[in-house]
Structure 1
Amino acid sequence: MTNNTNNHLNKELRPIHLWGIAVGMVISGQYFGWNYGFEQGGTIGLAIASMIVIIFYTTFIFSYSELSTSIPHAGGASAYARKAMGPYMGFLTGLACLLEFVFAPPAIAVATGAYIHFLIPNIDAVYATVAVFSFFILINLIGVKEAAIIELVATVLALIGLIIYYAAGLPHIKSSNLMGDLSFSNGWTGVFSSIPFAIWFFLAIEGGAMAAEEVRNPKKDIPKGFISGICTLAVATVFTLIVTSGLGGGEGKPADYPLPQALASVYGENNIIPITVAVIGLFGLIASLHGIIIGYSRQTFALARAGYLPRFLSEISKKGVPHWGLIVPGIIGVASAGSASFANSLIILSVFGAITMYCLSLISLFVLRKKEPHMERPFKVSYPVVPGIALFLGIISFFCVLKYSVLTTNLPIVGVKIPLIAVILFVFGAGSIYYLLVGAKKIRPISEEFVSIEDVAPSQKNVSL
């Protein structure tokens, strides 16, 4: 076990824990958020967008597994970009990752509050949102193994909820709902504008890499956790789309609780089946909220340990938890969740950070293949075909997120609607100024930041795909 006084994290996690964290971070995407894509592309347009996104994430995760096993670092994408393209690009990639992981939790918390309000109308959704978010920040302070077990239990319960949803909904699917007059009304424009919301089905699965330093055997366990995770989510995405669309969930104004809403259209709002799915759906939201809190705390910790952010954010508690890395971004998240009147803009902000980080990570893979051809790669992706497909689809997705979502969306802050592009430019602009004036002077030497995987895991034979 590693020594906390040296700013290292404890090795407590096995493949099942990593699967739980990876799937748990994403599972809320099955319960809300993606359904905003119905307004853009209809049922068929969103389905096509989702298939594109499934191909992208599958190829991306295989590529990301090469990076995460070659460089098993809590910084995840920021570490890979620094190794490949230098400290400034590492900082920008880490900032994009923080944008994803700091603003996804408030969006999930808003939906959690909406689910609680659906079940208990007397509880104000905003109060429920803030209370749940704050509670799980506190839960994460108890230690990574305990937090991972909670994440695993919540993830399994959320998957059970999805199975109940599929079993209850499949017999009532109507083809007219799947193939109606408006199912492909916006054509390919609708497909491209649906991509940002289809990404929500999988957003944050890569966050499992941020626990890489806490995995007992990164060489074997990280690929197992990632690949089993992407397979689980791909199957769930197909069924969630078919059932929700087939029950008429693609019609009308999108809700923050689309699954119980779709079942209520068949069984009635007071029926035990939609209520059960809504209750279990809370575990899906909690799993993602809890998992992404783990992710943003490790990203903040890694950036601070490297010198990019104030050093106090890399302090570790007696429980082996980066407590300030949990609390400081958490305050920003709680404030965003409490002031946001809807989750849509937070989703888009998070998705933009994610797709930016994905593209930079894939570029890092190509650079490292040329720059360091002899670097140990315990898991090798089929190069250049698989990462090439991922990068091509990633660039298309980036364009779609920017054109159809970021440039057309506002973020409500204290009653004022601020263009989302202005928020993004401010974050990256202010971050770059901080880096140039402060961060660049405090960065630790790269030799101190990166070690061979042999230093963190027993020797294993290479795995390839």
Structure 2
Amino acid sequence: MANEQPALKQALKPIHLWAIGVGLVISGEYFGWNYGWGVAGTVGLLLATLVITLLYFTFIFSFTELTTSIPNAGGPFAYALKAFGPLGALVAGYATLIEFLFAAPAIALALGSYVHFLYPSISVVGVSVGSYILFTLINLLGIKEAAWFSLVMTLLAIAELLLFIGVVAPDFKLANFLHNPMPFGWSGVFAALPFAIWLYVCLEGVAMVAEEVKNEKNAIAKGYISALLTLTILALAVMICVGGIAEWEKLATLDYPLPESIGLVLGRTNPWTKLFASIGLFGLIASFHGIIISYSRQIFALSRSGYLPVILSKVSPRQQVPYWALLAGAALGVLALLLLDTSKLVLLSTIGAVVVYIVSMLALFKLRRSEPTLSRPFKAPFYPVFPALALLLAIVALAAMIYFYSWLCLLFLAGLFAIIVLFYAFGKHRKSKELMQI
């Protein structure tokens, strides 16, 4: 019994997974994507979004095979460990942490900006830091409680977006949407890819709670696919509606494009504007809360496998949540939001995401060959076309990021290089056989 690994509580159903999946991502409809207008225009970003939507459909249908075959809190880290050994797992784990740890402070800053929009005297950073404290405490209550909170926040966020669409759709003008639609030509479409990814980024975080799902046939697949369909409809509807309200240049650099767009139509003092900005917090809260769940489980899994200090895999005896992982993730997030602005946090998160997608699809191909007898409750449809297309589009997205945002990519690579050096310096590579036992 002394050698038992810490375990997580199984309490989640498909409805919880749908809520966590949508909740992880839905803040992407509220802010961040509009930065893509600044590098591509409305039509340029729309084209980039259609390409990325195809990436996510092929990726999620393929990724679900890995999640159901290897239900592990480490997610991509666990898949890469089984496919490529400790070094491959290190790359996947690092990229996943970058994706989630930098997404959270971007959302926290947006939360602060929404509150500041309502009450200009309140500090953006103060609200951002306070959000970390509050939602880390909520997550310490337990996964079931956290999942139900995600469900409520997600339902409110969806209702709000539908309300937003209903309010602004009558004022949509095609001339506004087509105003200066691709100011930077086709190169702008490639530059906008990371901001299109922001509309879906972190959806794969559902994999981090796979160990906490009740035994139910295709529960994970149901949660993933229903979440992806919901997000696709909302993303395209919101982007097109906002683009048709006013000239996009007025909204391309804001952390709160939706309430500002209503303010342009109805006036900033209009009750609808104030109401929307107030309830707009639900979408940001849903994502922020869900991402905290995901990064804490990733830290927990890396610690449990020996990649991070063992204390980070400690689980509270009553709630069975990784409390040290939650606290460490919050500390790193607060540091990031104090050092970087929102657009850079978005870009770093999406750089980590596409590396995760590439490693995951390579792991899928490898495991199909090396582990033909592995139990696969859900198999990727149209194999090998879907995973190959997802892999190709992820490589294209990464190449575009390297070209347009080279210094942030260098920062990402520098961190990876430092982690690899420490990995070998401390002899972690010698524990490969032990680490392979997932």
* TM-score bracket relative to the smaller structure: over 0.9
What does residue 234 of structure 1 align with? 232
Which is worse superposed, 264-273 or 30-39? Answer: 264-273
How far apart are residue 272 of structure 1 and its match? 1.6
Asked whether 1:445 is paired with 2:434, we answer yes
How far apart are residue 124 of structure 1 and its match? 1.0
Post-superposition Cα deviations, 1:406-449, rounded to whole Å, max 9, x if no partner, equal x1xxxxxxxxxxx4244313311221122112233456724632
Change (3 A) 1:378 1:9: same
For residue 440 of structure 1, what is the amino acid of its counterpart?
H
Q: Which whole-Å CA distance do the structure 1 matches of 2:139 and 2:97 have between them?
A: 18
Given that 1:307 and 1:444 are in contact with CA atoms closer than 8 Å, whether structure 2 keeps it comes out as no
- From 244, 247, 253, the equivalent of 1:246 is 244
Q: Which whole-Å CA distance do the structure 1 matches of 2:255 and 2:222 have between them?
A: 32
What does residue 433 of structure 1 align with? 421
What does residue 136 of structure 1 align with? 135
How far apart are residue 4 of structure 1 and its match? 12
How far apart are residue 329 of structure 1 and its match? 2.0
Q: Which whole-Å CA distance do the structure 2 matches of 1:387 and 1:336 have between them?
A: 33
Using structure 2 for the length normalisation, give the TM-score: 0.96
For residue 141 of structure 2, what is the amino acid of its counterpart?
I
Please tell me the root mean square deviation across aligned C-alpha atoms, in Å. Answer: 1.7
For residue 143 of structure 1, what is the amino acid of its counterpart?
G
Q: Which whole-Å CA distance do the structure 2 matches of 1:357 and 1:177 have between them?
A: 37
Change (3 A) 1:447 1:56: closer
How far apart are residue 216 of structure 1 and its match? 0.3
Q: Which whole-Å CA distance do the structure 2 matches of 1:211 and 1:397 have between them?
A: 27
Asked whether 1:423 is paired with 2:422, we answer no
Change (3 A) 1:96 1:187: same
Which is worse superposed, 105-114 or 372-381? Answer: 372-381
Change (3 A) 1:85 1:5: closer
What does residue 119 of structure 1 align with? 118
What does residue 386 of structure 1 align with? 386
Q: Which whole-Å CA distance do the structure 2 matches of 1:177 and 1:48 have between them?
A: 17
Given that 2:34 and 2:257 are in contact with CA atoms closer than 8 Å, whether structure 1 keeps it comes out as yes
Unaligned ranges ≥5, structure 1 = 408-418, 450-465
- From 198, 205, 212, the equivalent of 1:214 is 212
- From 195, 198, 205, the equivalent of 1:197 is 195
How far apart are residue 218 of structure 1 and its match? 5.8
Given that 1:4 and 1:316 are in contact with CA atoms closer than 8 Å, whether structure 2 keeps it comes out as no
Post-superposition Cα deviations, 1:267-321, rounded to whole Å, max 9, x if no partner, equal 0001122222211211111111110010000000001111111111111012101
What does residue 281 of structure 1 align with? 280
Post-superposition Cα deviations, 1:24-70, rounded to whole Å, max 9, x if no partner, equal 01000000000000011100000000000111101100001000001
Q: Which whole-Å CA distance do the structure 1 matches of 2:224 and 2:199 have between them?
A: 15
Which is worse superposed, 253-262 or 74-83? Answer: 253-262
Identity %: 44
Given that 1:178 and 1:246 are in contact with CA atoms closer than 8 Å, whether structure 2 keeps it comes out as yes
For residue 424 of structure 1, what is the amino acid of its counterpart?
F
For residue 82 of structure 1, what is the amino acid of its counterpart?
L
Given that 1:27 and 1:284 are in contact with CA atoms closer than 8 Å, whether structure 2 keeps it comes out as yes
SS across alignment from 2:191: helix
> Pairwise mapping of residues 377-416 of structure 1 onto structure 2 (< 5 A)?
377-381=376-380, 382-405=382-405, 407=406
SS across alignment from 2:198: helix
Larger relative contact order (C-alpha < 8 A, sep ≥ 6)? Answer: 2
Given that 1:116 and 1:123 are in contact with CA atoms closer than 8 Å, whether structure 2 keeps it comes out as yes
What does residue 410 of structure 1 align with? none
What does residue 331 of structure 2 align with? 331
For residue 118 of structure 1, what is the amino acid of its counterpart?
F
For residue 295 of structure 2, what is the amino acid of its counterpart?
Y
> Pairwise mapping of residues 29-178 of structure 1 onto structure 2 (< 5 A)?
29-178=28-177
SS across alignment from 1:8: coil
Divergent runs of 4+, >6 A = none
SS across alignment from 2:248: coil
Q: Which whole-Å CA distance do the structure 1 matches of 2:247 and 2:372 have between them?
A: 50
Given that 1:306 and 1:443 are in contact with CA atoms closer than 8 Å, whether structure 2 keeps it comes out as no
SS across alignment from 2:192: helix
Change (3 A) 1:446 1:335: closer
Q: Which whole-Å CA distance do the structure 2 matches of 1:206 and 1:60 have between them?
A: 9
Given that 2:81 and 2:436 are in contact with CA atoms closer than 8 Å, whether structure 1 keeps it comes out as no
Change (3 A) 1:368 1:249: farther
Given that 2:86 and 2:436 are in contact with CA atoms closer than 8 Å, whether structure 1 keeps it comes out as no
For residue 241 of structure 1, what is the amino acid of its counterpart?
M
SS across alignment from 2:196: helix
Unaligned ranges ≥5, structure 2 = none
Q: Which whole-Å CA distance do the structure 2 matches of 1:389 and 1:441 have between them?
A: 35
What does residue 301 of structure 1 align with? 300
For residue 416 of structure 2, what is the amino acid of its counterpart?
F
Q: Which whole-Å CA distance do the structure 2 matches of 1:109 and 1:440 have between them?
A: 36
Change (3 A) 1:83 1:249: farther
Post-superposition Cα deviations, 1:152-186, rounded to whole Å, max 9, x if no partner, equal 11111111110011000110001111112x11121
Using structure 1 for the length normalisation, give the TM-score: 0.91
Given that 2:302 and 2:308 are in contact with CA atoms closer than 8 Å, whether structure 1 keeps it comes out as yes
How far apart are residue 233 of structure 1 and its match? 0.3
For residue 383 of structure 1, what is the amino acid of its counterpart?
Y
Given that 1:4 and 1:320 are in contact with CA atoms closer than 8 Å, whether structure 2 keeps it comes out as no
Q: Which whole-Å CA distance do the structure 2 matches of 1:347 and 1:270 have between them?
A: 30
